[in-house]
A and B are shown apart, each in its own frame.
Chain A
């Protein structure tokens, strides 16, 4: 849950990038890290706990400061989860304290079962933390739109964005930084909107 630190005048928010293996979650963080426009010192190091073959083992982590709201610094902590099925326990750990989610789907036709399975896995893991998906702001990013075997956006919407309330979704080509900032800005807006409507979280 987001934390407001009255003593240091900071608002801290946790966003988790979720999705199937090799879908582009880490690439999203790398692109944000490489391209975000921030004042000096407002962007932390991108920390990757990865295997020797660059697959995420535990999580990637990028702390970043975005703006000041009425004197409060807003600090975002961006995490990815490991996409591989065997690392489900790790995904549960990373989801602890989550405020918002960017679900990064792989647009390739043959990846549809993995997209659906990963989304179901997200709901299961949120349930294990006693969180309902409807309580958490999230956006969908349909990545790898540049590949020739990418399914139509409408098809991905039909598969993944078919709940009572449809959420914002974006096409993306993360390695070219397309759709990356659009997704991040939208989840941030949804989060701040939620805080305004709820007159906010906890204090520290």
Chain B
């Protein structure tokens, strides 16, 4: 076999992997970017995930390629987070503080303060596991079942975690803008 044939042959085997997984590049990058909070780390994580997926490709039995790949990517991200933020202590979050008023008042307050900026601030304040589930579900459109695979938790937990994440996000939106209006 000539050198050139060998190269051509290798290239033929790649589109398989690339055709299955490269379409998920944007979804993967979006999740990594939201978890790692900067472009460079997100790019490194995504590339590392592609390399790991490529090596593990033999073990991929078809089916939901997006969930399979996002699982790998998520693991890479959390490994990086551990390294990057090992010195940081997570900010304690008081979940009860804004629960004193009724649903109508909450909704009224939310409508007044809901905008792109307060959402941004609130999302950044969420703990990783909450931000992640909102990105996976509300932005990337993964079903509960897929999220269960990616995150490695039962569907029931997906359901309750998403509910808590949205609850916290809403409270943060109300709270963060309230602080600004005082100053």
**A, B from the same assembly:** no
